[in-house]
Amino acid sequence: MNEYVADKTRYEKMKYNRCGKSGLLLPALSLGLWHNFGDSSPFENQREMVRFAFDSGITHFDLANNYGPPPGSAEENFGKILKKDFRPYRDELIISTKAGYYMWEGPYGDWGSKKYLIASLDQSLKRMGLEYVDIFYHHRYDPNTPLEETMEALAQAVRQGKALYVGVSNYGPEETRRASSILKQMGLRLLVNQPRYSMLERRMEDGLQQVLEEEGIGAVVYSPLAQGLLTSRYLDGIPEDSRAMKSVFLKKENITDELVNKIRKLNEVAKRRGQSMAQMALSWVLRNGKVTSAIIGASRKEQIADNIRALDNLSFTAEELQEIDAVLNS
Ligand code: NDP
């Protein structure tokens, strides 16, 4: 691939939102490296997607220790891309990683102990070739570890300069409130929670959104396209190269006729709005300003291009929202 020089107009293409009550602005769309960045995916395609994303004003790249396959390889591949193309741009990037799910054998490679989190962050930094990450997340709440210990691990990462900000992911409303309060007592802020949120997964609206607003915590949401369901991908069967064919996380049997019929109806609403299904799904997530950033996944750069155009129309009429709710509840 040729030498990379970032598009000079990149910051004109993106909208940036403040992450809770912090100083940090995040792009309305971020790129996640959960799928399609492991060793089983072609490296040059990965590189093209990261380049294209940054050229589109996407400054935030979301990783985790276990992304691959094999686990860790997404961070390694991202590290290679950083080294090849992004050396001059480190200060323009927000790179996040996480620990909380199974990563290595024995009692110290999973959940929420300080031992696990600190060791995992060191491994992540090494794999990516970084001195620090911008955001370090605890990936899921651990009911068996005192939350004080998990938060102490996050605080230590900041004190040691290995992370600039800290976040939690998949924490419920009360867990988030407690995490925020513990961190405040340590003189730190909980920057962000990362829950799943889409037209098909609205649990965040039941209490969590309110806690985030009250505490001034940002909402960076994942799987806004429900892993590809809320796109035109599955309207006419299950394509060979789709996630549903390749990943254990999106099961073919969950793509029922009933679901596809709903998505077809939503797609009609999208067409009337002059949007693709994917664009409308992203606009919907960003519709009321309560979401700081939606982390999209992609298997090719054309999908990122399609998704970015969601930003051209983020407002919905009351009638459109009602129609969407009626389809979702049917
Ligand atoms: P999405 O809901 O955005 O799904 C992405 C998938 O949708 C793509 O891989 C692609 O599937 C398909 N797609 C994307 N754009 C289009 C388009 N325009 N047209 C057609 N199909 C499209 O997000 P993910 O589920 O990938 O999650 C995004 C990120 O969120 C992850 O990478 C990760 O960073 C984060 N995440 C965090 C979790 C956590 O626990 N904190 C859990 C899960 C995700 P295909 O491959 O079939 O082309």
Tell me, in angstroms, the distance from the centre of ligand 1 to residue 297's CA. 3
Pocket test for ligand 1, best of 26, 34, 248 (most atoms within 8 A of CB): 34
Q: Which residues contact 83 (CB under 8 A, 6 or more apart)?
A: 129
Q: Which residues contact 142 (CB under 8 A, 6 or more apart)?
A: 100, 111, 112, 113, 150
pLDDT > 90? residue 194: yes
Q: What is the mean pLDDT of residues 109-121?
A: 98
Q: What is the pLDDT of residues 166-176, one digit of tens each?
A: 999 999 999 99
Burial class (CB in 10 A: 0-12, 13-18, 19+), 87: exposed
User: What pLDDT does residue 316 have?
Assistant: 98
Tell me, in angstroms, the distance from the centre of ligand 1 to residue 238's CA. 16
Task: Report the alpha-carbon distance of residue 11 to residue 53 in Å, rounded.
Answer: 11
Mean pLDDT of the chain: 97
Atom of ligand 1 at shortest distance to CA of 64?
34
Pocket test for ligand 1, best of 31, 33, 35, 101 (most atoms within 8 A of CB): 35
- Taking CA atoms only, the protein residue closest to ligand 1 atom 36 is 222
Pocket test for ligand 1, best of 102, 223, 309, 311 (most atoms within 8 A of CB): 223
Q: What is the mean pLDDT of residues 230-239?
A: 96
Both tokens of residue 58?
Answer: 């996407």
User: What pLDDT does residue 22 have?
Assistant: 98
Tell me, in angstroms, the distance from the centre of ligand 1 to residue 225's CA. 6
- Ligand 1 is surrounded, with C-beta below 6 A, by 32-36, 62, 139, 169-170, 194, 222-228, 231, 233, 242-243, 278, 295-299, 303, 306-307
Residue 76 confidence class, pLDDT cut points 50, 70, 90: very high
**Cβ neighbours of 8 (radius 10 Å):** 8
Closest among 295, 288, 128 to 195, alpha carbons compared: 295
Q: What is the pLDDT of residues 257-276, one digit of tens each?
A: 999 999 999 999 999 999 99
- Phi/psi for 173 (5° steps) reads -60, -50
Q: Is the peptide bond before 42 cis (omega within 30 degrees of 0)?
A: no
Residue 1 confidence class, pLDDT cut points 50, 70, 90: confident
The dihedral built from the CA positions of residue 28, 60, 307 and 99, taken in this order, carries a sign that is negative
Tell me, in angstroms, the distance from the centre of ligand 1 to residue 37's CA. 12
Tell me, in angstroms, the distance from the centre of ligand 1 to residue 145's CA. 30
User: What pLDDT does residue 156 have?
Assistant: 98
User: What pLDDT does residue 149 have?
Assistant: 98
Tell me, in angstroms, the distance from the centre of ligand 1 to residue 296's CA. 5
Tell me, in angstroms, the distance from the centre of ligand 1 to residue 212's CA. 23
Q: What is the pLDDT of residues 33-59, one digit of tens each?
A: 999 999 999 999 999 999 999 999 999
pTM: 0.98
Atom of ligand 1 at shortest distance to CA of 169?
41
Tell me, in angstroms, the distance from the centre of ligand 1 to residue 186's CA. 35
Closest among 149, 151, 126 to 136, alpha carbons compared: 151
Q: Which domains does the chain have, with CATH numbers?
A: 10-329 (3.20.20.100)
E strand or H helix that includes residue 159:
helix 147-159
Q: What is the pLDDT of residues 287-319, one digit of tens each?
A: 999 999 999 999 999 999 999 999 999 999 999
E strand or H helix that includes residue 18:
strand 16-18
**Angle, nearest 10°, between helix axes 114-128 and 147-159?**
40
- Taking CA atoms only, the protein residue closest to ligand 1 atom 44 is 222
- Taking CA atoms only, the protein residue closest to ligand 1 atom 12 is 228
Residue 139 confidence class, pLDDT cut points 50, 70, 90: very high
Closest among 291, 283, 307 to 232, alpha carbons compared: 307
Closest among 224, 243, 234 to 307, alpha carbons compared: 224
